[in-house]
């Protein structure tokens, strides 16, 4: 059985409007992979250059077209893929690339090496940050070409894991709107252990300390047990068959997911205890909201994987944006023993004519109008602020967070378990009951003595 792609028919009409006989327009295929089937949600043109139309800095024209395929730079699409991946919900990836332009790119052997090189570059770029889960489960990537002269299209696949792989035909089907399951979950950082800044860790930069926290959250989420609508489902079960009796089968309704982190009882002796001098501590507080979308025939294991990947991808994207925005790495000064950091919060942007929503992030003080600029630049979608779901996560309550952290003053040293300890309980990462709730997300760094960078 060959590869099949399902896509909303409105996407075809959108890209036909971009067709030009005197140039080539490259872009990314975004969507979901499930075995030999792909479900495409959006086709995003890649910006190749920007031109100021006048002295007004705000009035910038984005160019998407080049004269020849050989003029396409691999880094353009690789960077675009990395930026777009941060905006994708878990369970969705960059599935490949598309080209709009004259002729037949598959019959021109000189185009093959360029197209293959672009796909390899995208794969390498997305692999640079494994916590973004940028590379999907399939190594077989799509190449879609729409002829601007005939307005006919053809799609083929290329396996980047096989040296000298040949192009394979793909059955691309434009059809009515695909149906999507909406899955909702929350990850509560209150259950996450405080990160203790030891003398050894004090020499690490804030970026490296945050990466250690990211790795811990990643392990925590990976080991969690996923409960869907209050039940543990068989991973091989089809999701649509798990919702008996609630609503009509033709209607897909939001499903709630809870994550439980199991802990095994371990017995430790006094030899396992040691005294560790602490310089400070870092506490993450707030709730990360997760909303993912799965195709109609998705299996339970796909839901579990999508939710977990979404939580890690979102947290990794926020931390990356946060440390890139910092002017300096200093945690604090002797006069400032308490430092509060607020990573950007998540907002949702529904795609036109689709139930699926992509993600963007707003720093404190930013408005949703700024997200619309990136939406147009990276996805080619125009809209106004009314389409943005900006109440998914609210502003942090810093005073409450600081009061909780300072309610008990720890000593400079603590008795700790030398190995990874755990308690005889299951920690609940509470599930979301409605799509839009007020949330907070921040992390606080507390120093016991002098500061360290």
| 374: in domain | no
Is residue 248 a contact partner of residue 384, using CB atoms and an 8 Å limit? no
| 276: in domain | yes
Q: How many CB atoms lie within 10 A of CB 147?
A: 18
Q: Count CA within 13 A, CB hemisphere, residue 310.
A: 31
Domain boundary among 146, 175, 204: 175
Same domain, 194 and 335: yes
Q: With pLDDT > 90 as the criterion, what percentage of the chain qualifies?
A: 51
Q: What are the strands, taking DSSP E only, across 309-354?
A: 338-341, 345-350
pLDDT tens-digit readout, 355-393: 899 999 999 888 888 888 888 899 998 888 888 888 888
pLDDT tens-digit readout, 119-146: 999 999 999 999 999 999 999 999 999 9
451 contacts: CB under 8 Å, gap ≥ 6: 330, 331, 332, 333, 334, 336, 337
Is the pTM above the cut of 0.75?
yes
What per-residue confidence (pLDDT) applies to 418? 38
Mean pLDDT of 414-432: 32
Q: What is the 3-state secondary structure (H, E, C) of 365-428?
A: CCCHHHHHHHHHHHHCCCCCHHHCECCCCCCCCHHHHHHHHHCCCCCCEEEEECCCCCCCCCEE
User: Mean of the per-residue pLDDT values for the chain?
Assistant: 82
What per-residue confidence (pLDDT) applies to 133? 96
Alpha carbon separation from 435 to 194, 220, 290, 326, 390 (Å, rounded): 29, 24, 9, 32, 12
Is residue 302 a contact partner of residue 34, using CB atoms and an 8 Å limit? yes
Is residue 337 a contact partner of residue 437, using CB atoms and an 8 Å limit? no
Same domain, 190 and 170: no
Question: What is the crossing angle of helices 74-87 and 109-127, to 10°?
Answer: 40
pLDDT tens-digit readout, 176-201: 888 899 999 999 887 777 888 888 88
Same domain, 162 and 193: no
Element (H, E) at 29: strand 25-34
CATH number at residue 19: 3.40.140.10
Same domain, 230 and 297: yes
| 192: in domain | yes
Counting the structural domains of the chain, the total is: 2
372 contacts: CB under 8 Å, gap ≥ 6: 383, 384, 385, 388
- Structural domain including 9 reads 3-175
Domain boundary among 175, 208, 226: 175
294 burial class (0-12, 13-18, 19+ CB within 10 angstroms)?
buried
User: CA 219 to CA 212: how far, in whole Å?
Assistant: 11
Same domain, 204 and 243: yes
């Amino acid at each position: 059985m060959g590869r099949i792609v399902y896509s909303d028919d409105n996407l075809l009409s959108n890209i036909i409007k971009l067709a030009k006989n005197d140039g080539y327009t490259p872009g990314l295929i975004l969507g979901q992979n499930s075995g030999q089937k792909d479900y495409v949600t959006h086709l995003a043109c890649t910006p190749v250059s920007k031109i100021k139309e006048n002295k007004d800095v705000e009035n910038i024209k984005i160019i998407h077209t080049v004269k020849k395929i050989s003029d396409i730079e691999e880094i353009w699409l690789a960077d675009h893929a990395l930026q777009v991946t941060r905006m994708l919900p878990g369970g969705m990836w960059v599935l490949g690339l598309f080209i709009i332009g004259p002729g037949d790119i598959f019959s021109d052997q000189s185009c093959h090496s360029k197209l293959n090189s672009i796909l390899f570059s995208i794969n390498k770029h997305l692999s640079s940050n494994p916590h973004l889960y940028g590379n999907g489960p399939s190594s077989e990537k799509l190449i879609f070409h729409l002829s601007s002269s005939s307005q006919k299209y053809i799609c083929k696949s290329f396996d980047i894991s096989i040296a000298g792989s040949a192009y394979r035909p793909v059955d691309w089907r434009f059809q009515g709107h695909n149906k999507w399951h909406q899955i909702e979950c929350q990850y509560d950082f209150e259950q996450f252990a405080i990160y203790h800044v030891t003398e050894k860790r004090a020499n690490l930069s804030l970026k490296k300390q945050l990466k250690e926290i990211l790795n811990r959250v990643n392990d925590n989420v990976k080991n969690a047990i996923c409960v869907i609508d209050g039940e543990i489902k068989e991973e091989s079960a089809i999701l649509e068959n798990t919702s008996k009796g609630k609503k009509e089968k033709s209607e897909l309704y939001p499903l709630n997911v809870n994550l439980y982190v199991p802990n095994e009882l371990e017995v430790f002796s006094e030899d396992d205890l040691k005294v560790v001098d602490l310089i400070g501590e870092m506490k993450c507080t707030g709730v990360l909201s997760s909303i993912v979308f799965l195709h109609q025939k998705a299996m339970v294991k796909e839901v579990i994987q999508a939710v977990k990947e979404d939580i890690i991808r979102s947290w990794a994207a926020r931390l990356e944006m946060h440390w890139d925005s910092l002017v300096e790495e200093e945690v604090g000064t002797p006069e400032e023993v308490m430092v509060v950091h607020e990573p950007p919060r998540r907002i949702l942007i529904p795609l036109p004519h689709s139930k699926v929503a992509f993600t963007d992030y707003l720093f404190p003080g930013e408005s949703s109008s700024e997200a619309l600029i990136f939406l147009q630049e990276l996805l080619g979608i125009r809209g106004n602020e009314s389409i943005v779901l900006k109440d998914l996560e609210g502003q942090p309550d810093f005073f409450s967070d600081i009061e909780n952290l300072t309610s008990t003053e720890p000593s400079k040293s603590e008795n700790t378990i030398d190995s990874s300890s755990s308690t005889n309980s299951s920690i609940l990462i509470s599930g979301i009951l409605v799509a839009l709730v007020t949330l907070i997300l921040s992390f606080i760094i507390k120093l016991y003595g002098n500061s360290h960078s």
